[in-house]
Structure 1
């Protein structure tokens, strides 16, 4: 059996989500129809809207269901304003949504440079949009969103936050954060792929990306993905319930990193100086390529990745690590190990045994 350590790419489907999806897929009816079957379908959607809102610390009316985090990010950045400022460590679905956006540098610890943001905002027209993620998908580093919001508010800028990796791993409070928009994705927290949410305040003048229907309060046209939305809601509820147990995942991550450092004192853990998600470790040993590590670990029954999993299966140096000042050799050797709700000590033991064998062979070569 594989030791699955790639939760930041996608988490295993939670049983609660599968149950909700099975129920929903067996129910005929379009959520927009007014007959009994349609009203029952609408009930699945609205229950999920409440569940997702509770996970995010938001109002249910703010939740706009989408096909995933990528669509949510594109909707936010394409519909809020013309001048966009992003951090250099954002997911590609943010960076490529607005290729001409101004990019803010990262500090060596992986956090966005707030001084650079202040300068950029001073030069930007009023009504600019700032997009900074809550937790980085590759390093797990948490960004200072409250400080970002404070700087943006001082000049009348809006703030979008990609919280895809943070959801289900740390408590979310959209009201407390003060952001205007928040992005979530179901499959990162144990829901199905192909469904996500953009959570936007009611008073925000958001231009829809998809037009042609009145669904989602006219903010996202198209018949709702009923089974996916039901599964998303159930996974959100389960993830919120399990939050107090997530500290145990941090203990597993710390044991993994301590084991790697014992095996390879020259190993680098990116973002270790900053506050990080409890489940994420980005490791590198110069001279040991990421591709070699991923293939060797896969043969040993251990699943990890290099950087984001959204790069068409390609193993390539990370733009996040490059923005943090990593050398080309370090970036080319970085792998991401990410844990989650089913991770065990046995998974850590299997990783350390397989990775240790590979490291020793590389040193003997």
Structure 2
């Protein structure tokens, strides 16, 4: 029997009410010491119709807060803030995991707390510009090349943050292994020019991500841990390199051996970025003996086909969730979708965040 998009499904230890996943999306609403708040709780609770919510990229360290108003999860106040969110989602019958994302070299000192610094495998800045509330758009800062003690500290920070996520009531943790952020910067041969045990070969470049996975699995259990990759996306200088696909496939096999909760792949072709080759997705799926979540500009019919053909086990929706808190109901009933206001994607406050309308048909069906 083909899996159905709107029917309940099991994802590891979690029983989900459907196979629709809300993908992690930066929304920059963690005002005040990078702490989750009541506004964020309202936003996620509105979208608890998803089978699973993956909360936005959240830093496990003061050093990883590269973006303005990016949430953190490394203090008691952060735990309390996120507890508001998880309680609100659970009260609506939803499930939620948090994406741990250390921005690495993708940031600016103006976005970091006083004790934070940009770190990377080497001392080379990310390309492009980044927003700061204090100075507007700026070139990313120059990171400090990490030594062995910095690497060990970062691995420990991921594990501690994952443990705090359990205290905050999350149902699991996802590691962000894409986007050109810290984990992918070690993986990527263009960014990682090291010649020590963490660079110089595909096995060495995979070492950091595997150490993080093992540390987090040791803290919370592999069955509560997923990981997301964005192969070929080329974000933040993480350009394709010779042997990259083979390195991803080998990594998927190593992750499969660890019994993770899921593998999450994203294809950003619908956003005008380089596509994830179908051959790589298929090879990683074959190498990973576990559930595959797939994000790729899906609508309802394409999502159903991807499940029916076995391309994925769960389908992630990103931007449609921004403007449609009742997205699941709209997809199921064929109701037209609201369009997002792109000018408010990353601005503070409720405008363009918690004020999108729920359709009258969704309201009537919920009664």
Same fold (TM over 0.5): no
| TM-score of the two chains, using structure 2 as the length reference | 0.29
| TM-score of the two chains, using structure 1 as the length reference | 0.29
Larger relative contact order (CA 8 Å, sep ≥ 6): 1
More helix by share: 1
Task: Please identify the structure whose Cα radius of gyration is greater.
Answer: 1
